[in-house]
Amino acid sequence: MATIEYVRDLVRRDNGLAVVVTRRGDGSPQASIANAGVLAHPVSGDAVVGLVVRGDTRKHANLRRRPRATIVFRVGWEWVAVEGPVDLAGPEDPLDGLDAGRVPQVLRDVFSAAGGTHDDWDEYDRVMAGERRLAVLVQPERVYSNPGT
């Protein structure tokens, strides 16, 4: 059975590039690409898969209405999927137990967990705020992969 540690390994090997699947109102899947990584949930401390999304996307609207996602990472022929409920943390999506002033740090933590680096974190924070970016934190209810991993 795949583990969250296997997810961490694939993230490191391909900059956290992943397919993100949410559900539209009619139940059909909506897929997109994002960088994601494994980090500690900012409230519970549990390992989650996080990604950062703009506040004006279909993905965001879908997650607000149906807070579940599937994230699939792959490197070559290896892959791992993480499915589960999501928590949203952003300027328009307060997360219970998280002070709104900590949201910029959570966005930085998610970005870093996905392999990102930045030379000017203040500029990063300004861009994230301007785009109403938020953190999507997927709780790993199911983690599965191709046989043998």
DSSP-derived secondary structure letter, 19: E
pLDDT value for 142? 96
Give dist(CA 86, CA 67) in Å, integer: 5
Q: Domain of 80: which CATH number?
A: 2.30.110.10
pTM of the model: 0.95
pLDDT value for 148? 54
Mean pLDDT for all residues in the chain: 95
- Total domains, the chain: 1
Q: What residue numbers bound the domain in which 133 lies? A: 4-142
Is 147 a member of any domain? no
Is 98 a member of any domain? yes
Give dist(CA 140, CA 137) in Å, integer: 9
